[in-house]
A and B are shown apart, each in its own frame.
Chain A
Amino acid sequence: EAGVTQFPSHSVIEKGQTVTLRCDPISGHDNLYWYRRVMGKEIKFLLHFVKESKQDESGMPNNRFLAERTGGTYSTLKVQPAELEDSGVYFCASSQDRPVGSPLHFGNGTRLTVT
């Protein structure tokens, strides 16, 4: 079984540019999550999709971040325009629908550097 895959693995962009991160969850996993770790801080929740619907987007930092999951399969996270403080590792995770608390399977992450 293929795991959660994320693309790209690394991205270096300049402040003000746009970056789009992609996540392919494990096939059949309805739940898809985005998390982020900025340097020196803990991993923090960004948002949660159930299929194509946003279940919880309380962790999204501001309106420069836009997440989509059209068709309920892969998801994209777009940052536009990027700021220096957006640098960090963006993790995607997926899980089966039930039970609550089913193990999350994380992808390897996208390491974003904004210069």
Chain B
Amino acid sequence: RKEVEQDPGPFNVPEGATVAFNCTYSNSASQSFFWYRQDCRKEPKLLMSVYSSGNEDGRFTAQLNRASQYISLLIRDSKLSDSATYLCVVIPQGGSEKLVFGKGTKLTVNP
């Protein structure tokens, strides 16, 4: 089983749609969780950290369910500029700073 698994996608949605991505992780001792965004042929960039209580940043909402080892990202009112690959990322154990990436989910927002 892979350490981090994501919806393979791709997701194609119209502007203004709400879209949700899911991710599961295998190591129950995992400490830190993130969503990164990667544009085509560019480097990954941190979108947001994911906290146990859930957190929101504008149109983006991240949720963490430790019991189910499940992370989600919700994008509301999607924009053309949201088109990218969204990477679920986990630090699997305390004291480590090694990021473990999912394969990513590609999102295309259409006009």
Query: Which of B9-17, B56-64, B69-77, B96-104 forms part of the interface with chain A?
Result: B96-104
A41 to B96, CA, bound (A): 22
Partner of B97, one of A35, A59, A100, A107: A100
Q: Is the CB of B44 within 8 A of A106?
A: yes
Interface hit among A14-22, A43-51, A70-78: A43-51
Question: Which residues of A are found within 8 Å of B4, using beta-carbon distances?
Answer: 42
Q: Which of B43, B45, B87, B97 is in CB contact (< 8 Å) with A101?
A: B97
Contact, CB under 8 Å: B98 / A48: yes
Show 19 residue pairs from A and B whose CB-CB distance is below 8 angstroms, ordered by the A residue: A33-B99, A35-B101, A42-B2, A45-B98, A45-B100, A48-B98, A55-B97, A56-B97, A58-B98, A59-B98, A91-B43, A95-B97, A101-B32, A101-B91, A106-B43, A106-B45, A107-B43, A108-B42, A109-B43
Number of A-B contacts (CB under 8 A): 50
Cα distance A24–B49 when bound, in Å? 25
Interface residues of B in 32-65 (CB under 8 A from A): 32, 42-46, 49
Interface status of A81 (Cβ within 8 A of chain B)? no
Find out whether the CB atom of B99 lies under 8 angstroms from the CB atom of A45: yes
> Is A87 among interface residues, defined by CB-CB distance under 8 A?
no
From residue B102, how far is it (CB to closest CB) to chain A in Å? 6
A56 touches B96 (CB 8 A): yes
CB distance from B75 to the nearest CB of A (A): 20
Considering the complex, give the chain A residue whose CB is closest to the CB of B91. Answer: A101
A103–B47 Cα distance when bound, in Å, is 10
